[in-house]
Amino acid sequence: MAFLDKIGFTKLKEGLNKTKDNLFGKVNRLINSRATIDDEFLNELEEILISSDIGFDTSEQLMLSIKDRVKKDKYETQEELSGMINDEIKKIFADTTSSFNEFNFDSPVKPYVIMVVGVNGVGKTTSIGKLAHNFRKAGKKFS
């Protein structure tokens, strides 16, 4: 674990937790301020998602899922609404199409370097966390 701390794993984990807490905090505040899901609510929710390092495509997919679920499932309380939105957010993050079990570097040169480039707020840290998680699931090591 000391090696992981040297490469900033603790800082990465704290950053991802901050992003998660920020996202769910904003969503919960929005839900608590409204009793119904209308166009204004959906626009504000989409803005929160995009500004929380989720990205446009994922936000759009999530918004479609939420709109479909609102039409299908009726909710009576803010807690049910909150649960529905949180379930959809968790579902989209849990659904992955990566095949990192087959991911293989054939280069004899170590360590491997992966450069991540992007402007502020596009999700670099989130993507790095997802890469690290998938590498670990595939049995890859950080050392």
Check if the beta carbon of residue 6 is closer than 8 Å to that of residue 50. no
CB atoms within 10 A of CB 89: 21
At residue 135, what is the residue type?
Answer: F
pLDDT band at 143 (very low <50, low <70, confident <90, very high): low
Contact 114, 131 (CB under 8 A): yes
* pLDDT tens, residue by residue, 61-72: 888 988 888 888
CATH of the domain at 44: 1.20.120.140
Q: How far apart are CA 3 and CA 10, in angstroms?
A: 11
95-115: pLDDT as tens digits:
655 444 455 555 677 777 778
Q: Which domain range does residue 70 map to?
A: 1-143
Dist. CA 74–CA 135, nearest whole Å: 40
Tokens 């999700």 correspond to what residue?
123
Number of domains in the chain: 1
111 prior amide bond cis, ω within 30:
yes
Query: Considering the entire predicted model, what is its pTM?
Result: 0.57
Stretch 49-72: mean pLDDT: 83
